[in-house]
Amino acid sequence: MLGDRWSLLIIRDMMLLGRRTFKEFLSSYERPASNILADRLRRLKAYGIIRAKRDRSDGRKLIYLLTPKGMDLAPVLTEMVLWAGKHEKTENRPLIRLMQKDKEKFLAQIRQRWAQNKISPPSQ
């Protein structure tokens, strides 16, 4: 389900960077092609990992959100980011330091932010 180049990156962008719309995913660091992005969003939806709803204030926009199943990937993503932070060059060091400092607290914060629909990227 997640064994391709883009799925986990999309989920990371949603969970950790607060991305929510097609356009936002398109302009992510790794820049997926629009047709592939559309396909991956479709698949993640079919798997029950994300869902989409119309934007109340702009009927063109679709807001993509993680389902509970998708949110349960938070520990996976966290461990992957920590691993990459330890062994590879990465940007967003502050985020990594936050994770390292207290992993459980970080996960709790992410879940809480999500529950409130305050989907902004984590800040110190």
Partner DNA sequence: TTTTTCACTTGCATTTTGCAAGTTGGTTGT
Partner DNA sequence: ACAACCAACTTGCAAAATGCAAGTGAAAAA
Binding site for DNA (CB under 7 A): 4-6, 21-24, 31-36, 38-39, 41-42, 52, 58-62
Per-residue x/- track, 10-39, a second copy (CB under 8 A):
------------------------------
- Beta bridge partner(s), residue 66: 50
107 binds a second copy (CB under 8 A): no
Sign of torsion over alpha carbons 74, 44, 94, 86: positive
What values do phi and psi take at 54, rounded to 5?
-65, 145
Per-residue x/- track, 59-78, a second copy (CB under 8 A):
----------x--xx-xx-x
Burial class of 99 by CB neighbour count within 10 A (0 to 12, 13 to 18, 19+):
buried
In sequence order, the 6+-apart residues with CB closer than 8 A to the CB of 56 are none
Contact (CB, 8 A) for 77 and 16: yes
CB of 3 to DNA, least distance (A): 9
88 binds a second copy (CB under 8 A): yes
Exactly one of 9, 38, 62, 63 binds a second copy (CB under 8 A); which one?
9
Exactly one of 36, 42, 46, 83 binds a second copy (CB under 8 A); which one?
83
